[in-house]
A and B are shown apart, each in its own frame.
Chain A
């Protein structure tokens, strides 16, 4: 390798902010690598791409990508992204955040955005815990898992996120793990071009907190675990893809369907009700 060789992902990252804050063995960086691959492969227009994160370890993704990027408040990446998209419908808006941010504190926004079918692409990195705050239990923590706030084992039933967002109306639902880097990058490239509310769940290790407390080894051990336990079932009924602490991990593209997105529905309704009196906001709001 020559001294001037650069990593092909560098043009997509804020290299002046590297090294990042993520722990050794954490999977978030792997997902970002897949994201940059997807940007390269899909040749999506970077100028019109905006990325919105909430708070948490995954929330820091917004700070590392070389895009218009917004690190918002805890749980509110989706409503912020909603405003961004509606004000400038020409933007391709990615929401990149964690399981706690999107499904606990932000759970209400998640289901309503899916219901509206707002044209947002949600990448949910699921490490099964609140990692930034020290590994507390999350709505995604599997039963019996040990966390900082479930020291005797979690007993709350956990969310099956693909099932939740499909029921709420998402038009694209997939799940991969950080072992499935090619499949994940391909899914990401697909949602960049898919109109409507898209959701990819990425299972990702937190060796520092979740894996350690549950004696699941380090990052590499978790890759082996993902490899061994994962089963690709494209089109699997999402009601059957719930996760357990040690059981099978069903991955794949579960849902891909079409229904009119929020912007199209809004325009159609106003044209029908107002006729010539309707002024298309895409031409005026940003002027």
Chain B
């Protein structure tokens, strides 16, 4: 279906990534946000608080991130598309409810504008150090989807994508921005509503008598009903059967948890977004994401200036990790160079996926600024020898 024009601010704008993310959410049909102020993410909900009363929806500032991360899920079961926005310390507090959303299959979006950590760390300065937390932060086995924009335009475009994926797979989608992308101001083009494709909620068409909240067909994603429609369904974070009733025996646990993983894993190749360039004859491939991809771009250009054969692979989908691309590429190259604003997170995934078929070199950075292109260049040059 097409976007509801009430939420779409069609035109050419000069806005930062945080504001573009808010516009993406509105264009995607989000009409509910619950948040708690935290730098450098607050501008997203500030704009939402300003915009949503004129669009038809609700923003509520909650008493903490524990509340914000579950209030939005109540709103989803009430019929809204909903999201919350935070940064590292708040993201840590939200982990239990990412697990709840995964377990109850509540479609929703968590935006994390990453800053330096651990703990309070660097409130106003960038990092990309929540990447593993986004994947593994809640307890138990589950699968999520995570996207990494590298520009305000992508903050708009990919926020829509994030909501669409959340609805398609009924998972919480992590929108992994960083402080620089969040606060960077650039041109953002918002198309007309009829050019924006929206994935509607997988609402059941079954009768009250037929409907089972967690019955699935071939694609492993159950159909949803909302409170107040007469279905009288039950939802729990306990291990549950197709009725949604607690049923805590190993075979039910096995069936449920495997389905929660497989519904995303089996679709991984289809939902993987990436940008590739010059991979065909590359000796070295630079793999990056988010703001670091823009610094890496400069390093790649400098290396090519030295006649080095360097390819670019920018990860847009970070989770599920696009291991099929890395696995296919690894035997054909000398090395993969992975700069990121952490001391080595996604590089481990690259290493695992490459399976020893090529060298994998990290370019770590503890955060607080972006890399210097020369630091990446140096590793490219070493790897090319």
Contacts and interface: CB of A to CB of B under 8 A. Distances in A.
A73 B97 contact: yes
A83 interface: yes
A86 B55 CA distance: 15
Tell me which of A48, A63, A266 has the highest count of chain B C-beta atoms within 10 A of its own C-beta: A63
Contacts of A46: 232
A157 to B, nearest CB: 23
A217 B302 CA distance: 82
A68 interface: yes
Interface residues of B, number: 49
Interface stretch (B76-84, B293-301, B310-318): B76-84
Question: Which among A68, A85, A108, A283 has the highest number of chain B CB atoms within 10 Å?
Answer: A68
A109 B66 CA distance: 9
A106 to B, nearest CB: 9
A18 to B, nearest CB: 12
Interface string B114-145: 00000000000000000000000000000000
Nearest to A53: B236
A274 B245 contact: no
B82 A83 contact: yes
B331 to A, nearest CB: 46
B214 to A, nearest CB: 14
Contact of A285 (B79, B228, B230, B246): B79
Contacts of A75: 66
A66 B232 contact: yes
Contacts of A280: 56
Interface in A87-102: 87-88, 90-91
B227 interface: yes
B54 interface: yes
A87 B32 contact: yes
B100 A72 contact: yes
B312 to A, nearest CB: 42
B232 A67 contact: yes
A79 to B, nearest CB: 4
B219 interface: no
B70 A68 contact: no
Given A284-B31, A285-B80, A286-B78, A79 B228 contact: no
B62 interface: yes
B58 A87 contact: yes
B96 interface: yes
Contacts of B352: none
Contacts of B82: 83, 87
Contact of B57 (A63, A90, A109, A281): A281
Given A84-B77, A87-B82, A68 B56 contact: no
Contacts of A278: 53-54
Interface in A156-194: none
A67 B60 CA distance: 26
B211 interface: no
B13 interface: no
Contacts of A90: 228
B53 A279 contact: yes
A83 B77 CA distance: 9
Contact of A270 (B53, B100, B230): B53
Contacts of B74: 52, 70, 79-87
B235 interface: yes
A71 B54 contact: no
Determine which residue in A72, A81, A281, A285 has the highest number of CB atoms from chain B within 10 A of its CB, and name it. Answer: A285
A231 interface: no
B62 A79 contact: yes
A275 to B, nearest CB: 11
A69 interface: yes
Given A87-B78, A283-B56, A284-B57, A82 B71 contact: yes
Instruction: Give the residue among A88, A109, A266 with the most B Cβ atoms within 10 A.
Output: A88
B54 A277 contact: yes
Contact of B236 (A16, A62, A66, A274): A62
B226 interface: yes
A14 interface: yes
- Interface core residue of B52, B56, B231 (most chain A CB under 10 Å): B56
A17 interface: yes
A215 interface: no
Interface in B71-121: 71-80, 82, 96-97, 100
B210 to A, nearest CB: 16
A67 B234 CA distance: 8
B237 interface: yes
A103 to B, nearest CB: 15
B372 interface: no
Interface string A241-280: 0000000000000000000000000100010001001111
Contact of B227 (A79, A88, A277): A88
B150 interface: no
A87 B234 contact: no
B246 A63 contact: yes
A13 to B, nearest CB: 11
B238 A71 contact: yes
Contacts of B96: 73
| Residue of B6, B54, B100, B235 ringed by the most chain A CB atoms within 10 A | B235
A88 B226 contact: yes
B228 A71 contact: no
A284 B6 contact: yes
B63 interface: yes
Given A63-B234, A68-B231, A281-B52, 4 more contacts: A62-B234, A66-B232, A112-B67, A278-B54
18 contacts: A62-B234, A63-B236, A66-B232, A68-B231, A70-B234, A70-B236, A73-B70, A76-B67, A76-B97, A79-B67, A79-B68, A83-B32, A86-B78, A88-B79, A279-B54, A281-B53, A285-B80, A286-B78
Interface of A: 14, 16-17, 46-48, 50, 52, 62-63, 66-73, 75-76, 79-88, 90-91, 108-109, 112, 266, 270, 274, 277-281, 283-286
